[in-house]
Structure 1
Amino acid sequence: MKIKHFLFGRPLSTEALQEERMPKWMALPILSSDALSSVAYGTESILIALVAYGTAARWFSLPVSLVILILLFTLIISYRQVINGYPKGGGAYAVAKENFNPLMALIACAALLVDYTLTVAVSATAGVAAITSAFPNLIPWNVELSVLGVLIVAFINMRGVREAGTVFAFPTYFFIFNIFALLLAGLYQVVVHGIPSTSIPMPAHIPQGVTLYVLLRAFSSGCSALTGVEAISNATPVFRDPTVKNAKTTLLYLGILLFVMFMGITILANLYGVAPSPTGNPTVLSQIASNLFGYSWMYYSTQISTALVLFLATNTAFAGFPLLAAIVAQDGYMPRQFSTRGDRLSLNVGIMVLSLMSILLIIGFDAVTDSLVPLYAIGVFLSFTIAQLGMVKKWRMEKPSGWKSKVFINGLGAIMSFSVVIISLVEKFSAGAWTIAIIIPILVWMMFSIKRHYVSVANQLKMDIDHPLHLKSTLMIVPVGGINQVVRNSIEYALESSPPEQIIAFHVSIDKDEDEKFRGKWQTWNPGIRLETFYSRYRSIKNPLLRFIDQVQRRVDGKYEITVVLPIFITKKTWHRMLHNQAAYFIERALLNREDIIIVKVPFHLKS
Structure 2
Amino acid sequence: MLSFIKRVLIGQPLKSTALGEQKLNKTKALAILSSDALSSVAYGPEQILLVLVTIGAAAFWYSVPIGVGILILLLALVLSYRQVIYAYPHGGGAYVVSKENLGVNAGLLAGGALLVDYILTVAVSISAGTDAITSAFPSLHPYNVLIACGLVVLITILNLRGLTESASILAYPVYLFVLAMFILIVVGLYQIAVGHVPPHLHEPLGTPVSGLTLFLLLKAFASGSSALTGVEAISNAIPNFKDPAPKNAAKTLAAMGLLLALLFSGIVWLAYYYGISPKAEETVVSQIASATFGRNLLYYVIQGITAMILVLAANTGYSAFPQLAVNLAKDKYIARMFTVRGDRLGYSNGILFLAVASILLIIVFKGRTEHLIPLYAVGVFIPFTLAQTGMLVKWFRERPPGWGIKLTINAVGALISFTVMMIFFITKFPQVWPALIFLPGIVFFFHKINKHYMDVGDQLRITTCEPSVPVEGNVMVIPVAGITHVVENTLNYAKSLHPEQIIAVYVAFEKEAEKQFEERWNQWHPEIRLVTLFSQYRSIIQPLTKFVDTVEHKAMESNYKVTVLIPQFIPKKRWHNALHNQSSFLIRAFLLYRRDLIVTTVPYHLKK
Report the TM-score range of the alignment, normalised by the length of the smaller protein.
Answer: over 0.9
Matched residue, 1:452: 451
Q: Say yes or no: does 1:60 pair with 2:62.
A: yes
Q: Give the Cα–Cα distance (whole angstroms) in 2 for the partners of residues 241 and 200 of structure 1.
A: 50
Range with greater deviation from structure 2 (206-215 or 282-291): 206-215
AA in 2 matched with 1:50: L
Q: Give the Cα–Cα distance (whole angstroms) in 1 for the partners of residues 203 and 507 of structure 2.
A: 92
SS in 2 for 1:306: helix
AA in 2 matched with 1:439: F
Q: C-alpha offsets along residues 283-332 of structure 1, whole Å, 9 cap, x if unaligned?
A: 22112112211122221111111111111111111111122112111111
SS in 2 for 1:298: helix
Instruction: Return closer, same or farther for 1:471/1:9 CA change in 2, 3 Å cut-off.
Output: same
Q: Say yes or no: does 1:219 pair with 2:224.
A: no
Q: Given the alignment, which residue of 22, 32, 35 partners 1:33?
A: 35
Range with greater deviation from structure 2 (147-156 or 67-76): 147-156
Q: Given the alignment, which residue of 5, 8, 16 partners 1:6?
A: 8
Q: Give the Cα–Cα distance (whole angstroms) in 1 for the partners of residues 448 and 23 of structure 2.
A: 33
Give 1:96 deviation, angstroms.
Answer: 0.9
Matched residue, 1:290: 290
Q: Say yes or no: does 1:563 pair with 2:563.
A: yes
Q: Say yes or no: does 1:186 pair with 2:188.
A: yes
SS in 2 for 1:38: helix
Superposed, 1:277-426 pairs within 5 Å as 277=279, 279=280, 281-426=281-426
Superposed, 1:85-234 pairs within 5 Å as 85-193=87-195, 196-198=198-200, 200=202, 202-204=204-206, 206-234=208-236
Q: How many aligned positions are there?
A: 604
Q: Give the Cα–Cα distance (whole angstroms) in 1 for the partners of residues 206 and 537 of structure 2.
A: 91
Matched residue, 1:23: 25
Q: Give the Cα–Cα distance (whole angstroms) in 1 for the partners of residues 46 and 458 of structure 2.
A: 54
Q: Give the Cα–Cα distance (whole angstroms) in 2 for the partners of residues 322 and 503 of structure 1.
A: 50
Range with greater deviation from structure 2 (2-11 or 577-586): 577-586
Superposed, 1:521-560 pairs within 5 Å as 521-526=520-525, 528-556=527-555, 558-559=557-558, 560=560
Q: Give the Cα–Cα distance (whole angstroms) in 2 for the partners of residues 409 and 249 of structure 1.
A: 18
Q: Give the Cα–Cα distance (whole angstroms) in 1 for the partners of residues 207 and 140 of structure 2.
A: 43
AA in 2 matched with 1:240: K
Conserved in 1, the CA contact under 8 Å of 2:318 and 2:351? yes
Q: Give the Cα–Cα distance (whole angstroms) in 2 for the partners of residues 491 and 516 of structure 1.
A: 21
Instruction: Return closer, same or farther for 1:196/1:205 CA change in 2, 3 Å cut-off.
Output: closer
Matched residue, 2:83: 81
Give 1:512 deviation, angstroms.
Answer: 3.8
Conserved in 2, the CA contact under 8 Å of 1:332 and 1:454? yes
Conserved in 1, the CA contact under 8 Å of 2:458 and 2:464? no
AA in 1 matched with 2:130: V
Q: Give the Cα–Cα distance (whole angstroms) in 2 for the partners of residues 240 and 408 of structure 1.
A: 30
Range with greater deviation from structure 2 (258-267 or 344-353): 344-353
Conserved in 2, the CA contact under 8 Å of 1:56 and 1:203? no
Give 1:527 deviation, angstroms.
Answer: 6.4
Q: Give the Cα–Cα distance (whole angstroms) in 2 for the partners of residues 288 and 270 of structure 1.
A: 10
AA in 2 matched with 1:510: F
Q: C-alpha offsets along residues 94-113 of structure 1, whole Å, 9 cap, x if unaligned?
A: 11121121100010011111
SS in 2 for 1:52: coil
Q: Give the Cα–Cα distance (whole angstroms) in 2 for the partners of residues 567 and 468 of structure 1.
A: 29
What RMSD, in angstroms, separates the aligned Cα atoms of the two structures? 2.0
Conserved in 2, the CA contact under 8 Å of 1:158 and 1:346? yes
Using the size of structure 2 for normalisation, the TM-score is 0.95
Using the size of structure 1 for normalisation, the TM-score is 0.95
SS in 1 for 2:476: strand
Instruction: Return closer, same or farther for 1:265/1:519 CA change in 2, 3 Å cut-off.
Output: same
Identity value in percent = 48
Q: Any gaps of 5 or more consecutive residues in structure 1?
A: none
Q: Given the alignment, which residue of 252, 255, 270 partners 1:253?
A: 255
Conserved in 2, the CA contact under 8 Å of 1:198 and 1:271? no
Q: Say yes or no: does 1:275 pair with 2:277.
A: yes
Q: Give the Cα–Cα distance (whole angstroms) in 2 for the partners of residues 550 and 51 of structure 1.
A: 72
Q: Give the Cα–Cα distance (whole angstroms) in 2 for the partners of residues 65 and 204 of structure 1.
A: 15
Matched residue, 1:582: 582
Q: C-alpha offsets along residues 450-472 of structure 1, whole Å, 9 cap, x if unaligned?
A: 11111111111111399677333
Q: Give the Cα–Cα distance (whole angstroms) in 2 for the partners of residues 480 and 424 of structure 1.
A: 65
Q: Give the Cα–Cα distance (whole angstroms) in 2 for the partners of residues 577 and 497 of structure 1.
A: 30
AA in 2 matched with 1:64: I
SS in 1 for 2:313: helix
AA in 1 matched with 2:68: L
Range with greater deviation from structure 2 (176-185 or 589-598): 589-598
Conserved in 2, the CA contact under 8 Å of 1:236 and 1:243? yes
Q: C-alpha offsets along residues 70-125 of structure 1, whole Å, 9 cap, x if unaligned?
A: 11111111111111111221110011121121100010011111211221121112
Conserved in 2, the CA contact under 8 Å of 1:122 and 1:369? yes
Give 1:384 deviation, angstroms.
Answer: 0.3
Q: Give the Cα–Cα distance (whole angstroms) in 1 for the partners of residues 439 and 85 of structure 2.
A: 25
SS in 1 for 2:557: coil
Instruction: Return closer, same or farther for 1:527/1:200 CA change in 2, 3 Å cut-off.
Output: same
SS in 2 for 1:603: strand
Q: C-alpha offsets along residues 356-392 of structure 1, whole Å, 9 cap, x if unaligned?
A: 2222222222222222222221110010000000111
Give 1:201 deviation, angstroms.
Answer: 5.3
